[in-house]
């Protein structure tokens, strides 16, 4: 979750002996005051579809019109992802051997298929849009679409807590939500869920007592029948 950037190589850092071994794809950061130049020279990649107004508006359309409740589907998990490149296959092998996957799903970082959105890419995109000047469309348009998308998803996350209003079944799926969106709304969502749980605590205790008493009564009846009474 703390590893959010995909780097492309310009210079190799093989000679450095660091605590973790740098992958050969990691490039060296370049010191510069100019952040745009830094992003270009460090080669942080924004998926091209993310900076295009057509694909952005199609995602917004899906988020708002087609399915106003659920989030867009996340990228497939590593074990189900279709390997686009051979070098991403090891993730699949490790999964099958029962090793733990990485903290951040690699699919979130590497796959660049339009429509499968993760907030890591979204955040990276908005950073890219803020600083790039060679975009395929007018920067203002892309930025406003990007802001719309971020706001739509944040509003969805907030409104999803209404599922708990009716004291639901204590389980809520938020599949598709991104790590950074979650971090932003964590306090609010957990506060609502815990608060509702506390308000309904006595009702729940009563229900459980009732269920237990009911279960006991059923047992008693059965045993009565067994005895032929």
Partner 1 sequence: MDIDDILREVDPTFHSVPQETRDLQDLTRAWVAERSAPELLHWPAGGLFERINDNIKRQIEKVEEMTGDMDPKTNFALIVIQTELERFKYLVRSYLRARIAKIDRHTLHYLSTDELRSRLSEMELAYATRHQALLHNHYLSSFLSSFPPVLQNLNDTAGNISMIDAPDLESAVFIRLLKDTLVESRGVDNDGEMDGRESDIVILRWSDAKRLVETGCAELI
Q: List interacting residues with partner 1 (CB under 8 A).
A: 1-2, 13, 15-21, 28-29, 31, 74, 76-77, 79-80, 86, 89-90, 93-94, 97, 99-103, 105, 166-177, 179, 182, 186, 189-190, 193-194, 196-197, 200-201, 203-204, 207
Q: Which helix (H) or strand (E) holds 197?
A: helix 179-199
| Residue 182 vs residues 48, 89, 93, 118, 189: alpha-carbon distances, Å | 25, 28, 29, 11, 9
Please check whether residue 108 is in contact with residue 74, taking contact to mean a CB–CB distance below 8 angstroms: yes
Q: In whole angstroms, give the CA distance from residue 112 to residue 118.
A: 10
- Please report where in the chains the tokens 């589907």 appear, as a residue: 73
Give the nearer residue to partner 1 in terms of CB position, either 18 or 33.
18
Minimum distance from residue 165 beta carbon to partner 1 (Å)? 11
Give the nearer residue to partner 1 in terms of CB position, either 29 or 48.
29
Q: Return the closest-CA partner of residue 159 out of 141, 179, 142, 177.
A: 177
Minimum distance from residue 89 beta carbon to partner 1 (Å)? 5
Residues linked to residue 7 through DSSP beta bridges, in sequence order: 44
Give the nearer residue to partner 1 in terms of CB position, either 93 or 228.
93
Q: In whole angstroms, give the CA distance from residue 170 to residue 46.
A: 38
Minimum distance from residue 201 beta carbon to partner 1 (Å)? 8
Minimum distance from residue 31 beta carbon to partner 1 (Å)? 8
Minimum distance from residue 114 beta carbon to partner 1 (Å)? 19
Give the nearer residue to partner 1 in terms of CB position, either 88 or 143.
88
Give the nearer residue to partner 1 in terms of CB position, either 1 or 213.
1
Q: Which residues contact 157 (CB under 8 A, 6 or more apart)?
A: 174, 177, 181, 182, 185, 189
Angle at 168 between CA 164 and CA 170, to 5 degrees: 85
Minimum distance from residue 220 beta carbon to partner 1 (Å)? 23
Give the nearer residue to partner 1 in terms of CB position, either 68 or 195.
195
């Amino acid at each position: 979750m703390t590893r959010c950037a995909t780097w492309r190589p310009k210079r190799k850092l093989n000679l450095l002996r660091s605590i973790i071994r740098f992958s050969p794809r990691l490039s060296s950061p370049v010191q510069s005051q100019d952040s745009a130049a830094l992003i270009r020279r460090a080669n942080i990649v924004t998926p091209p579809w993310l900076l295009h107004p057509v694909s952005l508006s199609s995602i917004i359309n899906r988020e708002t019109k087609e399915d106003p409740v659920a989030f867009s589907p996340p990228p497939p998990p590593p074990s189900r992802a279709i390997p686009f490149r051979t070098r991403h296959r090891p993730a699949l092998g490790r999964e099958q051997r029962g090793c733990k996957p990485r903290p951040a799903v690699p699919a979130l970082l590497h796959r660049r298929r339009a429509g499968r959105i993760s907030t890591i890419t979204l955040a990276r995109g908005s950073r890219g849009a803020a600083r790039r000047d060679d975009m395929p469309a007018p920067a203002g348009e892309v930025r406003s679409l990007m802001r719309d998308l971020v706001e739509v998803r944040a509003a969805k996350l907030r409104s999803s807590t209404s599922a708990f209003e009716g004291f639901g079944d204590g389980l809520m799926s938020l599949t598709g939500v991104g790590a950074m969106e979650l971090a932003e709304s964590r306090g609010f969502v957990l506060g609502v869920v815990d608060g509702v749980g506390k308000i309904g605590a006595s009702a729940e205790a009563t229900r459980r007592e009732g269920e237990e008493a009911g279960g006991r009564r059923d047992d008693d009846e059965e045993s009565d029948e067994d005895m032929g009474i």
